[in-house]
Structure 1
Amino acid sequence: MAIPHLSKSKNGHYRYRRAVPEAFRETIGLLEIKKALGSDYATAMKRYGEVHKETERLFENAKNAPEPTDRDKVLRALKQAGVSRQQLETIVSGLGWGTDVQGLDGIWHGMVNEYEAAEAVGQKPKVSLEVIRAIGEQRLPPETYTAASALSFYLDSKRGPDASKNKQLENHIKNLQSRMIVVLGKEAVTKRPLEKFKREDARKLRDALLAQLNPNSVRRMFNMLRAAINKTIREYDLDAKNPLEKLEIKGAAASREDRYPFTEDDLKSLGPIMVKGPEDALGILWTILRDTGARNSEICRRKISEVDLENGSIAIPVGKSKNAVRIVPLSPSALAGAKFLATDKPADAFLFPSYATGRQTDSASQALMKRLRTVIKDEKKVVYSLRHRLKDRLRDTDCPADIQEEIMGHDAQNVAKNYGRGYSLEKKRAYLERVWAATPV
């Protein structure tokens, strides 16, 4: 059976050859994908699988890529005409085109002829009249910021050192953009300026997504899109309002019903199941989460140097927001577990090496859930319920709201709270000790 896109030359070398679909040629910049695979059949087959997968991904990215703007098309024509990088930088910076660009005249005439031919038969020209005019007048069309470019800008701004988290965010954004194109059309998402992205579009998108997904998923998507648009408006000083602001998504409000906190009876039942001795790493993780109210990933990724054994605290130097960066006191049992894990380990070692990187933090949560479900069957009670419980217990101790925020790492809405060094470790410990004293172990 013939293998698609595989050929063998006369001298016995295998090659991958595949024509680029016409719709993707302008984006990819090639007419054909050609890759040498070697002369050994087994090696060629292994390489074939890699190349084929890479090509499929290239085509998929081209399919979802934003359509080039008028500005992009003029820049592409300049490059095609042989404009140097230095000349291009001068044009983009707004300092003018200088002397006539050699070779551009022929490209311009070709665009005019194609435009007139398409108009004559009622077809849509490949380039707009604005592109043709801009080249003829030697000017660059203004930059266009779209919903698609806003999402791309947001993705670039959020990229960090964790490749798995970057890929996860990339997939979320790709999924959102694909859904937006289905609902609003590709041109509205990739070509329409943000200034013309209206409330009507936002409502249409919301209603379509609510018909397919649960309200909380829609809320998460809209939070991401709202942040991307806000970031683009601020960065490029656009005269535009975000049409997603204060848009209601029925059924998606964050509430205490999303996750139930554990009761004291729950914790009493869970004690011997979740902590299987003083040397149980997973049990130590549970204890730290229980007594600090921290997020699972915040503890799993900590290094030994970030645990202050003398003062009994753990530093969380990164987080979802500015206020998530904090120092939290450790209870005596959590501190004892941290001391055990830190013994004879270098300062730069992870406290929980099995759960510290990539998606391993998810593995920690799954391992804890496996133990938890042997006792607690209520699906609304999960590991994160420890965080809800601590918040409730801090309220019960009459702990001030701003101290609660510092302990929990919640994002404070009051700007004034972002000034100063925050509350002392002793002050936070005083309220936590009241919670620890009443915690079943």
Structure 2
Amino acid sequence: MTRKVDYLFLRKGSQNWHLKLQYPGDLGQKIGRKRIEKSLGTPDRAQAEILALPYIQEHKMHLLHGHKDFRIVWKHRFEPGRQHVGPAGERIIATDRELIYLDPQGVITKRAPNGDHFIPVPPLLEQKAAVRREQLRRRGVRNSDDSIIDTYLKHANVTGYNEREARAVWSLYKELTNGKPLREATREDGRKIVQYFEDNGLKSATIQKKVGWLNAAINLAIGETKLSFNPFSAIVPKRTDSERRLPLSEADMKLVRAGMEQLDRRDQLLLRFLATTGARLSEAFEIESELMERGCRYVIIGRKTPQSHRRVPLPAAVLPFLPRQIDGQQFQGTARSASKRLNRFLDDIGITDPRKVIHSLRHRAQDRLRAAGCPIDYRWALLGHEEKTVAEGYGLGFPVPALKRWIDKIGF
């Protein structure tokens, strides 16, 4: 079977193979030609493919040179502008692009390139960034269903990281299905997202959360009679693959206290706050101000669910490290970047059990309160309800001074 090579063709009236390569508009103007088209002088296709290789190399070099994520340099074999002595004792005159070989009488014996084109390999982070930019460019193409996602995000007031996550999952769907319209989509199309995430090692709970954005958006569109079927409903299999997190032990906390100097001031404060309150990492980044009740300073956190919304007294172990008045966000970057920094810190100080992560401080707080005899309703008030209860909507809850007596039992 003849192998198809698009850049080779037979011109009418000729038996010889011809080569045709084209350059994109801007690049063609830059190098002064839009295409390469020439006869390779042979009717033998295999030989023509070999003869075409130098032209293909030059063509690809120009394409790469025009790509903002790559640069091509000329790597010299010999330093130009000097005379060198070759391995056999011959004299070599080096110019920028050419080597001129001379015999003892000064006669030129041959010429050769002074080096070759070279593409420096960028650091791994730069390579990943280049790949990510290309993926975002491909996913960025809008279609008529984008308004459904836009409407949901605005309707549900989804912003920040959650909005970016939702749009990323939607873009992934478009990429995996070649932009298939939602009116034509089936659950098999939705399961392509699930398969993609599973292939990348995500747990079922994480996949459920990511797919949940699309599921909710389509449900809203169905309620508004824009669609009639949800291809993202009930597509994530129920699996027992969640990894049980372990609380940090007192031995672990000893390592944490001994290694605190490895963190900068803001991350030290963040870790202390998480350890002494049991708050979720994302909740710490919600703090922009404080309140006072009967001499007790406290903050309000908990946007994950209505039942997680709560008042948290500032523990005695944190107060010396706080400003006199909280006015603005106290922690740098985002919760996601902080999670990476703090989990890396745990690894660096010797806490390498994969079940022990920065979220383990929340489990530790729960255990410390339970061991201190803290009643369950106080624990809920301090750490947030995991499930919606009838009583949660009544009043403001326990007085802050009463909560502070218990939260100080957690300690650092």
CA shift in 2, pair 1:263/1:230, >3 Å? farther
Offset at residue 276 of structure 1 (A): 7.4
Distance 1:378 1:230, change over 3 A: same
Counterparts in 2 of 1:293 and 1:173: CA distance versus 1, 3 Å: farther
Which residue pairs with 1:6 in the alignment?
Answer: 26
TM-score by length of 1: 0.53
In the other structure, the counterpart of 1:112 is: none
Instruction: Measure, in 2, the Cα distance between the counterparts of 1:276 and 1:212.
Output: 32
Alignment correspondent of 1:88:
none
Residue in structure 1 matched with residue 85 of structure 2 by the alignment? none
Q: 1:215 is matched with which residue: 189, 193, 203?
A: 203
Structure 1 residues 413 and 201: CA distance shift in structure 2, 3 A = farther
SS, match of residue 259 in structure 2: helix
- State the AA in 2 paired with 1:259: R
* Bigger shift: residues 381-390 or 367-376: 367-376
Q: Deviations over 1:191-225 (max 9, x none)?
A: 24xxxx77777668656764565333432333323
Match of 2:245 in 1: 259
Give the structure-2-normalised TM-score: 0.56
Structure holding more strand per residue? 2
The 5 A counterparts of 1:220-369 are 220-234=209-223, 236=224, 249-251=237-239, 254=242, 257-274=243-260, 280-303=265-288, 305-306=289-290, 308=292, 311-317=295-301, 319-338=303-322, 342-343=323-324, 348-352=327-331, 355=332, 357=333, 359=334, 361-369=335-343
Letter in 2 for 1:371: F
Q: Residue 83 of structure 2 aligns with which residue?
A: none
Cα 1:315–1:244, aligned 2, differ >3 Å: closer, same or farther?
same
Cα separation, partners in 2 of 1:388 and 1:275, compared to 1, 3 Å: farther
Q: Which 5+ residue runs of structure 2 have no aligned equivalent? A: 1-21, 31-66, 70-129
Change (3 A) 1:324 1:158: same
Compute the displacement of 1:386 (Å).
0.5
Matched, 1:155 2:153: yes
- Alignment partners' CA distance in 1, 2:358 and 2:137: 41
Q: How many residues align?
A: 294
Distance verdict in 2 for CA 1:369–1:319, change over 3 Å: same
Maintained 8 Å contact 1:289/1:387: yes
AA of the residue aligned to 2:312:
V
The sequence identity of aligned pairs, in percent, is: 26
Partner Cα separation in structure 1 for residue 183 and residue 227 of structure 2: 17
RMSD: 4.5
Does structure 2 conserve the Cα–Cα contact (< 8 Å) formed by 1:391 and 1:404? yes
Relative distance call for 1:244 and 1:393 in structure 2 (3 A) is: farther
1:190 lines up with 2:174 in the alignment: no
Tell me the residue number matched to 1:413: 388
Change (3 A) 1:268 1:394: same
Native 8 Å contact 1:215 1:249 kept in 2: no
In proportion to residue count, which structure has more helix? 1
Rg larger for: 2
* Counterpart for residue 141 of structure 1: none
1:389 and 2:381 aligned: no
Closer/same/farther in 2, CA of residues 60 and 209 from structure 1, 3 Å limit: closer
8 A Cα contact 2:274 2:284, kept in partner: yes
Amino acid at match of 1:215: K
**Structure 1 residue runs without a partner (length 5+):** 15-47, 69-145
Q: Is the 8 A contact 1:155 1:170 kept in 2?
A: no
Q: Is the 8 A contact 2:278 2:383 kept in 1?
A: yes
Distance in structure 1 (CA, Å) of the matches to 2:187 and 2:388: 26
CA 1:237–1:160: 2 relative to 1, 3 Å? closer
Shift in CA distance, 230/370, structure 1 to aligned 2, threshold 3 Å:
same
Q: Once the 2 structures are TM-superposed, how far is the Cα of residue 240 of structure 1 from its aligned partner?
A: 6.4
How far does residue 335 in structure 1 lie from its aligned partner after superposition?
1.5
Secondary structure of 2:312's partner? strand
3-state secondary structure, aligned to 2:318: helix
Give the CA deviation at 1:174.
1.5
Q: 1:5 to 1:399 in 2, by over 3 A?
A: farther
Give per-residue Cα distances to partners, 1:98-153, cap 9 Å, x unaligned: xxxxxxxxxxxxxxxxxxxxxxxxxxxxxxxxxxxxxxxxxxxxxxxx7x665443
CA positional deviation for 1:289: 0.7
Compute the displacement of 1:292 (Å): 0.7
